[in-house]
Structure 1
């Protein structure tokens, strides 16, 4: 057992972070294309886009908080490092 988190777990977290950033960029593009930030009288952006963006932001911030907290000894006992990628099924 080592003090570092397992490589697969870290890779999964990194993939999730990248996916959340892509989703936020997509939502930002949708909001711009619908004129979300435009206070025109014909403003017609669905409220669901705003709710989805807020939910993704909360999820992303929760992941950042989780990454910033030190790992407890019991979690360190559960983590492992793979020697190489050949060990993966």
Structure 2
């Protein structure tokens, strides 16, 4: 008999702990498009408040901007080399 746990069955506290080891870009890019439960958890825990997009690739940057609520962002870090492109978005 094999016992296994699906990712969807993990408790919220385990997911929050997992997210704490990742950058805001990784959390937003990797988990917000998977399930509504994850998006709600990420939103409730404030992963949209302090965002570092300095290492985000162009596709990631554009996709993340689509689902961010710009009024909720308290701090935003962007790349100084790509800032002209990022600021126009």
Fold equivalence (TM over 0.5): no
Q: TM-score, normalised by structure 1?
A: 0.21
Which of structures 1 and 2 has the larger relative contact order (alpha carbons within 8 angstroms, sep 6+)? 1
Of Structure 1 and Structure 2, which has the larger fraction of its residues in strand?
2
Q: TM-score, normalised by structure 2?
A: 0.21
Larger radius of gyration: 1
Of Structure 1 and Structure 2, which has the larger fraction of its residues in helix?
1
